[in-house]
Amino acid sequence: MEHKKNFNERTFETDYGFMTIQGPLSADQLSEYTFHEDLNAFRPPAKQFEALKSIAEFEEGRIIVATHEQMIVGYVTYLHPDPMERWSEGNMDNLIELGAIEVVPEFRGFRVGSRILELSMLDPFMENYIIISTEYYWHWDLKGTKLSIWDYRRVMEKMMGAGGLTPSPTDDPEIISHPANCLMVRIGENVPRSSIEQFDELRFLTRNQYRKVKGE
């Protein structure tokens, strides 16, 4: 599968002036910007910036960013699932994961996360993918936002909905370990039935493996 990437860009106004949502960007394009020090939810900012550049160089990797005055203040990543996760079993070339989305706290309230996801889906090639996002409550900024787990879950669902992702059932052990966790999914219009069926097998891999054992 040839992973085609089509650039899109949008500008909007905030209390801090104009912001731009753009991407997918290459590693060289990302290097033209500085990376906000408060983008530290996953690892120290400098290391996270290097991680984004690495993802941008993957054949399927996509980095969409929100910028303000030549500084990255938000981003989303798309890439194939981690080899250690069940979602990588089957080596589905048309399955990609929304691996991370992060927005600087002071820029929240302007729908930055939703705008990033909306722009992500402007690329018509995204209709060739099954896109997943695994939401775990322990990754959420409950302390910074002062939201309850369930209020944060509703915020996440609304934001992901801006990109067309909706909750989907699964028996993945990590997801079902807490009722607030969830699997979000978007199936593109061009995804063949065979891929959807293969993905359904992955969603209920534990149940299917148990059935096979019983059948033996």
Each of the 216 residues of the chain gets a pLDDT tens digit; together they read 999 999 999 999 999 899 999 999 999 999 999 999 999 988 999 999 999 999 999 999 999 999 999 999 999 999 999 998 999 998 999 999 999 999 999 998 899 999 999 999 999 999 999 999 999 999 888 988 899 999 999 999 999 999 999 999 999 999 999 999 999 999 999 999 999 999 999 999 877 665 555 555
Torsion of CA 144, 146, 152, 156, to 10 degrees: -40
pLDDT of residue 179: 95
SS3 content of the chain, % helix, strand, coil (to 5): 40, 25, 35
Reading the block at residue 184, the tokens are 């979000």
pLDDT of residue 210: 53
- Dihedral sign, CA of 48, 53, 59, 65? positive
Predicted confidence (pLDDT) per residue in 28-75, tens digit: 999 999 999 999 988 999 999 999 999 999 999 999 999 999 999 999
pLDDT of residue 65: 98
Reading the block at residue 198, the tokens are 């293969």
Cα–Cα distance, 85 to 114 (Å, whole number): 26
pLDDT of residue 141: 86
Across the chain, the runs of DSSP E, i.e. the strands, are 8-14, 17-23, 34-35, 62-68, 71-79, 95-103, 130-135, 166-168, 182-187
Cα–Cα distance, 65 to 77 (Å, whole number): 9
- Residues in Cβ contact with 42 at an 8 Å cutoff, skipping those fewer than 6 apart: 48, 51, 100, 102
User: In 41-148, where does DSSP find H-type helix?
Assistant: 45-56, 112-120, 142-145
pLDDT of residue 109: 84
pLDDT of residue 205: 84
Checking DSSP bridges between strand 130-135 and strand 95-103, what pairing results, if any? parallel
Q: Are 22 and 33 in contact (CB under 8 A)?
A: no
CA angle, residues 92, 93, 94, in degrees to nearest 5: 90
Q: Which strand (E) or helix (H) includes residue 158?
A: helix 149-161
pLDDT of residue 213: 52
Q: How many CB atoms lie within 10 A of CB 131?
A: 24
pLDDT of residue 209: 61
